[in-house]
Amino acid sequence: MKTAVIQFPGSNCDGDALHAAQLLLDQDAQFVWHTEAGLPQGTELVFLPGGFSYGDHLRSGAIAARSPIMQAVKAHAERGGFVLGVCNGFQVLTESGLLPGALSRNRDLHFLCRPVHLRVENAGTAFTGAYTKGQVIEVPIAHGEGNYYADPETVARLEGNGQVVFRYTDNPNGSLNDIAGIINERGNVLGMMPHPERAVEALLGSEDGRGLFDSLVRAQAPA
Amino acid sequence: MTQAATLRDRAGTFGLSTEEFDLLVTRIGREPNALEAAIVGAMWSEHCGYKNSRPLFRHFPTTGPQVLQGPGENAGVVDIGDGWGVAFKMESHNHPSAVEPVQGAATGVGGILRDIFAMGARPFAVLDSLRFGNPDSPRTRFLLNGVVEGIAHYGNAIGVPTVGGEVTFHPSYQENPLVNVMALGLLRHEDLAKGTMGEVGNTIVYVGSKTGRDGLGGAVFASADLSNASQADRPAVQVGDPFMEKLLLEATLEAIQAGVVAGVQDMGAAGLVSSTCEMAYRAGLGITMDLDLVPTREDGMVPMELCLSESQERMILVPVPGKEQDLLDLLAKWELDVVTIGQVEGHTNYRLTWRGEVVCDLPVDLLNEAPKYTREGIESDEIRAKRERDLSGVPVPGDLGAVLTDLLSHPTIASKRPIYQRFDHQVMTNTVVVPGAADAAVMRVKGSGMGVAATSDCNPRFVYLDPYAGAAAAVAEAARNLACVGATPLAITDNLNFGNPHRPEVYYQLERAVHGIADACRHLNTPVTGGNVSLYNQYTEGDERVAIHPTPTIGMVGVLPDVTKRATLDLKGEGHTLYLIGEHADTIGASQYLETVHGLEAGHVPALDLTREQAVIDATLHLIRAGLTDTAHDCAEGGLAVALAEMAIAGHTGLSVTLNAPAETRPDALLYGEAHARILIATPDDAGTEAALTAQGVPFTRLGTSGGDTVTIALPDHHIHLSVTLSALTHAFTTPLAEILG
């Protein structure tokens, strides 16, 4: 699956995203700098990595969401191309309107880095087909602003449509409905706070994030 | 009154003694102007010029086949094989953290990271050695929370994992905490960069943040005693911007890898002056810089401020001749402020111009060759008396099991999870052994099968009671900690935190500690590749001068040839056999137990046998690499019993052991004494392990087995049997730090 990892100034999981993508999706996965106007020809997956794009100035993800490359990412999503936003990448997706809601400061106001357990709520998506519904996986979090919020109608719609893909079993940050990851209605844009790219090698303690990449390999881009 | 007389009278405000001022006048054959005096004061400060410590450094072993870069550069570099090198260094930010803990600690992280990427190495791990005062005091809570927030703010944002370190508490740090930050970076040998001006005609490029008035005189501030007036020095504390540093890091590494950089250095202590002065000195050449070209954050800045500001996130780059434009273009991509501010000259002076006039014209050699002071050290009678104190009258507590929970809940020993979970310790996806899991951190090297291990260690109580033995013990403990994860120790960096060296009893500690480090490093084949000196760590209140416990923090780096052959401290299951490699402790001298339970800092530091230490290290490495064990733990503060409890808590598995020793050995020494050269291991293969240890020729004792839900320790010769539930131990170990953090 031809993969482009977007680099914003201040991205810091860009290398991790590229490493996981090269390992599991596309050995020729490449970085794309935020000032580019377009994605490489034939890009199937856009990976928005974690980090502190633009130093979190204004709001996490707010400035990155308005950088030149995001026009191309939006067009890619409109064409049905896959977009995966992890951590700061999720924040960029909500700031750019590709996903609903917002991520605010963690409940206890501190950055938190530790493994968490996630329940796979919807195994019918292109990102989760390799998991089974209800499966509990261990994936690390590392964020200070992962507290998911959306208005009640939006949350109800997300829940009703099965758009809540991952849920914390033990909510670390105060997210509404224990939401850890959501997908858009069309099923091609996924945002999540936990880091699946940090959980793809046994050497580093967990391989539970592999399923997400394996799912993408199996998936066909929706028409 | 002439201007020179006025300046001479004010020499102290520049950090110069009147003798030093007179020496300066003699050396240059004229009276300096105020800017020149200030520049000399900064360059001759302890922080930049090492005037009290450098004469001692000649004792350090600094060479070896593994050393790619020894002392004198921005950081040391060791060869780990396969064309890879690891740059590493430790630096203190003690005084800034004492007055403004968040920014003090944050800029400590930022500063050491710049030293690493200035070597052409990509930073890939940070460790913090933190020491605070009384854990119950509001000041300690304030400082601890601030320092943790500062490290998290900077390290998490820039995306370098914080993988380990130490956090300990002792009243001597009440007003003067220690914040020592160690960073490691990975590089290919061919990318090794140097802090030099190169050759005549090269240009000098300023890149990064604009220069402001923050951090003015920081090097001098760091080289004076703290006092209540230090609060007024808050403007001497810099403010960090990790986002800017991230851009600078990426831009610098990209430029070095593109082959367009002839020299590079971070603007650290004493800012623009020290970086350019040191680079000129290494090249043996003079330079001229135009201060009007320095990018400024505010209007009306004068040369003194432009020269000595310690604004963060600034670097000096010297382009390869003919590649100037390539470098400027590359830096422009990262949207950084870039200005060519000077050039390298055929003369040997450090020459600055401002508004068309020469405002500083001093020999480069003079600036870089601070006067050296060899002082006379005299041991404090009070401390000698504590060391020689007879401990035979110290009573053995009736409930030795209660002692175990008391020690586990001492904040120095208790779990640091509430702290390290605020640090991103996994970004870069290399962290194989995470904080709390073992005696050292382990990072894999992508694209090879190797791992790099790192640890920082010092037991200040040992150093206080016996500076030579205590400092040597810090090196030995660091090496032992690396062995416990399966890493061969390679080299050290040191951070020498001491009081005011003008006091003979402090100079004695510094001198003896340096000898202790030197001898241990020579013996354990871990050369010193660099370090940092932080003196004047004392607090003056009224007439009382409170010096910190002498704290020579040792940062050690090692290599795992095969990162899959490693160990952590947690028990891996039931029914495994526990062995002690080395011998039982027979003294309570200088122990945490003696301090916590009996309120005594006294006694001799346990005897150090570096030959035995090496044998225990070699045996442990052999067992791990032969696949005979994947569980190893050093016995440090709290001794054998605390180490066993930590293994059980981490493994969620109890254990039962028997300690056989002559009845005349104190039972509290067996349990809680802190003898060196001891490593605990657990194995499912008794026969293989015993055969291997016998072949290694190292003493060992079979202690017992893992399993159950208690930690049970029997001392049959003493008719003592203590048993504490795993849940009680876990509670004691895991709750204290969260309470202190609040």
Q: Which range among A95-99, A119-123, B209-213 shows the weakest confidence by mean pLDDT?
A: B209-213
Residues of chain B neighbouring A201 (CB-CB closer than 8 A): 429
The reported pLDDT for the residue numbered B50 is 81
Mean pLDDT in chain B? 93
Measure the CA–CA gap between B512 and B79, rounded to whole angstroms. Answer: 30
DSSP string, A195-210: -GGGSSBGGGTB-TTH
Measure the CA–CA gap between B651 and B572, rounded to whole angstroms. Answer: 6
The reported pLDDT for the residue numbered B223 is 58
Measure the CA–CA gap between B341 and B295, rounded to whole angstroms. Answer: 10
pLDDT at B235 > cutoff 60: no
The count of other CB atoms within 10 Å of the CB of residue B402 is 13
∠ Cα B419 B423 B426 (to 5°): 130
Cβ proximity of B556 and B636 under 8 Å? no
Q: Does A115 touch chain B (CB under 8 A)?
A: no
pLDDT at B237 > cutoff 70: no
pLDDT at B219 > cutoff 90: no
Helices (H), chain A: 14-24, 68-78, 88-95, 152-160, 210-218
Q: Tokens 């995001």 map to which residue?
A: A70
ipTM of the complex: 0.95
Q: What type of residue sits at position B527?
A: P
pLDDT-based confidence at residue B1 (cuts at 50, 70, 90): very low
The count of other CB atoms within 10 Å of the CB of residue A79 is 9
**B163 vs chain A: nearest CA distance in angstroms?**
12
DSSP string, B66-130: TEEE-BTBSSEEEEEETTEEEEEEEEE-HHHHHH-HHHHHHHHHHHHHHHHHTTTPEEEEEEEEE
Cβ proximity of B412 and B147 under 8 Å? no
Chosen from B154, B254, B427 to mutate, greatest number of chain A CBs within 10 A: B427
The reported pLDDT for the residue numbered B46 is 79
The secondary structure element, H or E, covering residue B566 is none
Percent of chain B at pLDDT above 90?
A: 84
Q: Which of A141, A123, A154, A137 is nearest to A198 (CA)?
A: A141
The reported pLDDT for the residue numbered B676 is 97
The residue-averaged pLDDT of B371-392 equals 94
Cβ proximity of B104 and B93 under 8 Å? yes
pLDDT-based confidence at residue B216 (cuts at 50, 70, 90): low
CATH class of segment(s) A3-218? alpha beta
CA B174 vs. chain centroid, Å, equals 19
Contacts of B356 (CB under 8 A, 6+ apart): none
The reported pLDDT for the residue numbered A129 is 96
Q: Are strands A3-7 and A45-48 parallel, antiparallel or unpaired?
A: parallel
Q: Which of B510, B556, B559, B496 is nearest to B529 (CA)?
A: B556
B115 is in an annotated binding site: yes
Would you give the DSSP letter of residue B21?
Answer: H
Q: Does A221 touch chain B (CB under 8 A)?
A: no
φ/ψ (deg, to 5) at A168: -65, 140
Q: Which of A52, A197, A203 sits opposite B432 (nearest CB)?
A: A203
B369 is in an annotated binding site: no
Mean pLDDT in chain A? 95
**Tokens found for residue A100:** 């609903």
The verdict on a CB contact (< 8 Å) between B243 and A20 is no
pLDDT at B633 > cutoff 50: yes
The count of other CB atoms within 10 Å of the CB of residue A74 is 17
pLDDT single digits (tens) A27-66: 999 999 999 999 999 999 999 999 998 888 888 888 888 9
**A27 vs chain B: nearest CA distance in angstroms?**
14
Contacts of A79 (CB under 8 A, 6+ apart): none
pLDDT at A117 > cutoff 80: yes
The reported pLDDT for the residue numbered B217 is 60
Domains of chain B: 3-46 (no CATH), 568-742 (3.90.650.10)
pLDDT single digits (tens) A211-222: 999 999 998 654
Burial code (b: 16+ CB inside 10 Å, e: under 16) for B351-363 equals: bbbbeeeebbbbe
Task: Decide if B93 is catalytic.
Answer: yes
pLDDT at A10 > cutoff 70: yes
pLDDT at B71 > cutoff 60: yes
Three-class DSSP category at A182: strand
Q: Does A19 touch chain B (CB under 8 A)?
A: yes
- The CA-to-CA distance between both ends of chain A, in Å, stands at 16
Q: Which range among A10-19, A181-190, B235-244 shows the weakest confidence by mean pLDDT?
A: B235-244
Q: Which range among B369-378, B451-460, B537-546, B557-566 shows the weakest confidence by mean pLDDT?
A: B537-546
**Tokens found for residue B378:** 């005299």
- The CA-to-CA distance between both ends of chain B, in Å, stands at 57
Q: Which range among A71-85, B125-139, B334-348, B551-565 shows the weakest confidence by mean pLDDT?
A: B334-348
Query: Which among B59, B93, B410, B719 is annotated as catalytic?
Result: B93
**Tokens found for residue B465:** 């009671």
The reported pLDDT for the residue numbered A223 is 42
DSSP string, B346-407: SS-EEEEEETTEEEEEEEHHHHHS-----PPP---HHHHHHHH---TTSPPPS-HHHHHHHH
Percent of chain B at pLDDT above 70?
A: 96
The verdict on a CB contact (< 8 Å) between B243 and A15 is no
With both helix axes pointing from N to C terminus, report the angle between B34-43 and B18-28 in degrees, rounded to the nearest 10.
Answer: 110
pLDDT-based confidence at residue B2 (cuts at 50, 70, 90): low
Residues of chain B neighbouring A13 (CB-CB closer than 8 A): 159, 427
Q: Which of B157, B434, B564 sits opposite A55 (nearest CB)?
A: B157
The residue-averaged pLDDT of B368-395 equals 94
Measure the CA–CA gap between B73 and B53, rounded to whole angstroms. Answer: 17
pLDDT single digits (tens) B583-629: 999 999 999 999 999 999 999 999 999 999 999 999 999 999 999 99
Cβ proximity of B567 and B502 under 8 Å? no
The reported pLDDT for the residue numbered B225 is 62
Q: Which range among A2-6, A62-66, B708-712 shows the weakest confidence by mean pLDDT?
A: A62-66
The reported pLDDT for the residue numbered B677 is 97
The secondary structure element, H or E, covering residue B610 is helix B610-625
B538 is in an annotated binding site: no
Would you give the DSSP letter of residue A33?
Answer: E
The verdict on a CB contact (< 8 Å) between A111 and B424 is yes
B31 burial via Cβ count (<10 Å: 0-12, 13-18, 19+)? middle
B598 is in an annotated binding site: no
B interface residues, A as partner, C-beta within 8 Å: 152, 156-159, 241-244, 246-247, 334-335, 420-432, 434, 444, 446, 563-564
pLDDT at B464 > cutoff 70: yes
The verdict on a CB contact (< 8 Å) between A10 and B334 is no
Q: Which of B180, B680, B677, B645 is nearest to B477 (CA)?
A: B677
Q: Tokens 């003699």 map to which residue?
A: B26
φ/ψ (deg, to 5) at B349: -105, 160
**A190 vs chain B: nearest CA distance in angstroms?**
21
Q: Which of B414, B451, B413, B416 is nearest to B430 (CA)?
A: B451
Contacts of A42 (CB under 8 A, 6+ apart): A2
Measure the CA–CA gap between B264 and B255, rounded to whole angstroms. Answer: 10
Measure the CA–CA gap between B530 and B191, rounded to whole angstroms. Answer: 19
pLDDT at B12 > cutoff 80: yes
The reported pLDDT for the residue numbered B409 is 97
Active site residues of A: 87, 195, 197
pTM for the model stands at: 0.94
Sequence spans of domains, chain A: 3-218
The residue-averaged pLDDT of B429-439 equals 97
**Which residues 138-197 of A are in CB contact (within 8 Å) with B?**
140, 142, 144, 195, 197
The reported pLDDT for the residue numbered B311 is 86
Cβ proximity of B166 and B179 under 8 Å? no
pLDDT at B269 > cutoff 90: no
| Sign of the four-CA dihedral A57, A62, A63, A64 | positive
B161 burial via Cβ count (<10 Å: 0-12, 13-18, 19+)? buried
The verdict on a CB contact (< 8 Å) between A142 and B156 is yes
Residues of chain A neighbouring B431 (CB-CB closer than 8 A): 204
pLDDT at B233 > cutoff 60: no
Q: Which of B227, B130, B138 is nearest to B539 (CA)?
A: B227
